[in-house]
Amino acid sequence: MAGGERPTPSVPSGAAACSGGPGPSGDAGPVGAGSSGAAPVGAGSSRAATPVGVGSSGAAGPVPTAGSPRVAGPVPTAGSPRVAGPVGLRHLGDGERTLVMGVVNVTPDSFSDGGRWFEPAAAVAHGHALVDQGADLLDVGGESTRPGAARVPLEEELRRVIPVVEALARAGAAVSVDTTRAAVARRALDAGALLVNDVSGGLADDDMYAVVAAAGVAYVAMHWRGHADVMDANDVYDDVVTDVRRELAARVAAMRAAGIRDEQVVLDPGLGFAKAGASNWPLLARLPELVGDGFPVLVGASRKRFLGHLLAGPDEEVVPPLARDGATHAISALVAAAGAWAVRVHDVPGTAHAVRVATAWHRAGGRICTDRTVGRDGAPAVGGALSD
């Protein structure tokens, strides 16, 4: 197993991420270069929250750096050519641009578009429309993960997802399957999917890693602390960024042990999952820390609740999902500028523009960096800064 041969270097804290100006094509130094040698900020924090309804997620250190020298380094930059995509997807995009993953929810009850693409023909037509609008990838899912949602039986998930994956893949689209079930992943890969997007990071189905390892395909491991019925109760963190990185590190260790190679792995901070509101913002503001861990990063902020709360007017009425696209575009530009590999969104045209803005920003020498300092108690002070 290639992954098992790799050392697990310490992770740059990101605290010095503003130093040095990256060139538009500036490759990072070797793996682990730029690490101050100090222990990662906040690593080893003793107060780990206990997720509800999930077994121990492990208490490893922050995410081990991936082996590729093209992705390591302390200064994540916009649309960075340093962030190679996962295996099987490197033909997408121009290598410098954050990719746009368009959402195809074949569900009656997803929070922002539930029911609109529930019929297979409508879902396939929607997928084609998203590609025409600029989507690089299509993420097909058959189970809503909105807070409180009930689980869908396996056979029903298969019935919803497989024909849509098959039709879109046959037409030449790069298709991802959004599932926590190994059996669905297996069937979707047989039907032509190139990537498995697992919001549970492998915690929901013990067979998932074996399927992904055997297929050798790209795999998104999202930060997750339990199914939709319990996730809001799990929004308990000491320092959310450090805790999420530590829990993702445990997933990386488990993936390596199961034979999944680093080049297959994409990590995702899991916005909105066990992050009801305020917890989402540090994960965005300090995204360079996760990007700096060396794996491609996917961000799924699209139309999520925390944006509805952000945009609420004086009456405090939460803005509905379809009115959250402008905020989603802004986040897409920011995380693209911070080095995200891809953004998962419902509204593709605006996001395609947003990531192009980020690429232009990067090519002109702009960068986003963290500007955090370490508090007296050793905890990081949350903060992000834009600089150009």
Query: From the CB of 148, what's the least distance to ligand PMM, in Å?
Result: 12
Angle at CA 181, nearest 5°, toward 176 and 184?
Answer: 60
**Of the two residues 169 and 195, which places its CB atom closer to ligand PMM in the complex?**
195
168 binds ligand PMM (CB under 6 A): no
Query: From the CB of 199, what's the least distance to ligand PMM, in Å?
Result: 5
Q: What CA–CA distance (Å, rounded) separates 26 from 248? A: 27
**Of the two residues 173 and 177, which places its CB atom closer to ligand PMM in the complex?**
177
Q: What CA–CA distance (Å, rounded) separates 180 from 175? A: 16
Candidate list 304, 305, 324, 367, residue with the active-site label = 304
Query: From the CB of 359, what's the least distance to ligand PMM, in Å?
Result: 22
Query: From the CB of 299, what's the least distance to ligand PMM, in Å?
Result: 7
Q: Phi-psi region for residue 178, left (φ > 0), alpha (ψ -120 to 50) or beta? A: beta
332 binds ligand PMM (CB under 6 A): no
Contact call for residues 158 and 185 (beta carbons, < 8 A): no
**Among residues 112, 179, 234, 264, the one that binds ligand PMM under rule CB under 6 A:** 112
Question: Order of strands, edge to edge, in the sheet holding 298-299?
Answer: 265-268, 218-222, 195-198, 175-178, 137-141, 99-105, 342-345, 298-299
Contact call for residues 157 and 122 (beta carbons, < 8 A): no
According to DSSP, the residues that pair with 104 across neighbouring strands are: 140
The H or E element spanning position 80 is none
**Of the two residues 18 and 233, which places its CB atom closer to ligand PMM in the complex?**
233
Other beta carbons less than 10 A from residue 346's beta carbon: 21
Instruction: Mark residues 206-225: x for contact with ligand PMM by CB under 6 A, - for none.
Output: --------------x-x---
**Of the two residues 145 and 242, which places its CB atom closer to ligand PMM in the complex?**
145
Q: What CA–CA distance (Å, rounded) separates 39 from 30? A: 19
111 binds ligand PMM (CB under 6 A): yes
Query: From the CB of 374, what's the least distance to ligand PMM, in Å?
Result: 29
Token pair listed for 216:
């050798």
**Of the two residues 201 and 288, which places its CB atom closer to ligand PMM in the complex?**
201
- CA dist 159 to 153, 163, 183, Å? 10, 7, 12
Q: What CA–CA distance (Å, rounded) separates 186 from 246? A: 28
With CB atoms as reference, the residue minimizing the distance to ligand PMM is 300
Active site residue 304: yes
- Chain positions 77 to 106 lying near ligand PMM, rule: CB under 6 A, are 103, 105
Under rule CB under 6 A, how many of the chain's residues touch ligand PMM?
20
Where does this chain bind ligand PMM (CB under 6 A)?
A: 103, 105, 110-112, 141, 144-146, 178, 197, 199, 220, 222, 268, 270-271, 298, 300, 344
Q: Which residues are catalytic?
A: 304, 344
